[in-house]
Amino acid sequence: MLKTKVAILGAGFISDIHFESYHRFIPEAEVVAVYARDAAKAKAFAEKHNIPAWYDDIDAILSESGCEVVDICLPNFLHASVTLKAADAGKHIIIEKPLALTLEEADAMIAACKAAGVKLMYAEELCFAPKYERVRQMVKEGGVGDIYMLKQGEKHSGPHSAWFYDKKLSGGGVLMDMGCHAIAWFRWMLNNARAVSVYASMATVYHKDKTDCEDNSVVIVEFENGVIGVAENSWAKHGGMDDRCEVYGTGGVVYADLFMGNAAVSYSKNGYGYAMEKADTTIGWSFTIFEEVFNQGYPHELKHFIDCIQQNKEPLVTGEDGRAVLEIINAAYASAAEGRKIMLPFSPKVERPIDLWHHPQHIK
């Protein structure tokens, strides 16, 4: 079997998850190289995972590694520039959320990939998480009647890397980091129904010593079919990762928790090695998670993307979907600043979405 050659761009937390997914679950793919801006990190990542080549130069990895696909796991501010280089080099692109910092960047990325004839795949793992997908199948089968409200929340005590707290690098706080998951999942559940309005509230409640980005947000999205989506996201929630969804319909209701339903409830007097992502202690009661990467849908999304490349199929989640999510995020920041509902379409001219919250004079 000919394997699709993948280069992972980035050597942080999410890159580890993507490598594990390829290595354990996707025999059709082979990771041939890794890139990091820090040479020592690139070398260490390659040695840790037995990857044959490492680079600290984007142009070099694109021209020398022999990769067919680049998997972009870099900080948000690099997404657009690296995508444009990869498209120009004829590489298919898998890109972690969020798609870009601005709608103008998103449009340029989509256009460049179309012009180069390469695929741009937006890696939204909640669209592939097995438990969430079972929920979607129940809805498709009519199990809850007509949906009138969706809720999704992702919460923990803060991200792994310092760059998330720097708005110049991240573009925003928890909404950019995790709210994008909820918004993408709403659209996925509703067959990409068009969002018509956004209302949001956000604040910095816990990490004031680190950032002026929001670390807690609630966003309400109204869709053209009348469904309401409620996204709850936080970097201020202690006790480990929380990821759950709720579906309300005229004929039923569904609750799905990605972690608690896949945990061993345990008690330890002395503590032990690992319970769940972002849990700061294992002393006392804890919920010991297994197969987090699988439960969150990473192997499933990446396997789908590799299959799309090998079979020349259109991915289920594309750059256009990433752009739609980014537009809603922009509207959410504007709403939080203005204290009012923002109607879509919404195309502000800002360097980063959070500017709409910090500097509302950009809102029109």
User: What pLDDT digit, counting tens, does each position of 223-239 carry?
Assistant: 999 999 999 999 999 98
- Mean pLDDT value across the chain: 95
How many other C-beta atoms can be found within 10 angstroms of the C-beta atom of residue 28?
Answer: 15
In the predicted model, is pLDDT for residue 305 greater than 90?
A: yes
Coil, helix or strand for 228? strand
Assigned token pair, 251: 């004929």
Average pLDDT over residues 327-331: 98
Average pLDDT over residues 195-217: 97
Assigned token pair, 347: 């195309």
End-to-end Cα distance, the chain: 54
Q: Give 177's strand partners.
A: none
Q: What is the pLDDT of residue 364?
A: 64
d(CA 14, CA 360): 32
Rounded to 5 degrees, φ, ψ at 177 are -75, -50
Q: Which domains does the chain have, with CATH numbers?
A: 4-125+298-317 (3.40.50.720), 126-258+318-364 (3.30.360.10), 259-292 (no CATH)
In the predicted model, is pLDDT for residue 323 greater than 70?
A: yes
The residue count of the chain comes to 364
- pTM for the full predicted model: 0.95
The percent of residues in the chain predicted with pLDDT above 90, rounded, is 87
For 10-39, the pLDDT digits (tens) are 999 999 999 999 999 999 999 999 999 999
For 104-143, the pLDDT digits (tens) are 999 999 999 999 999 999 999 999 999 999 999 999 999 9
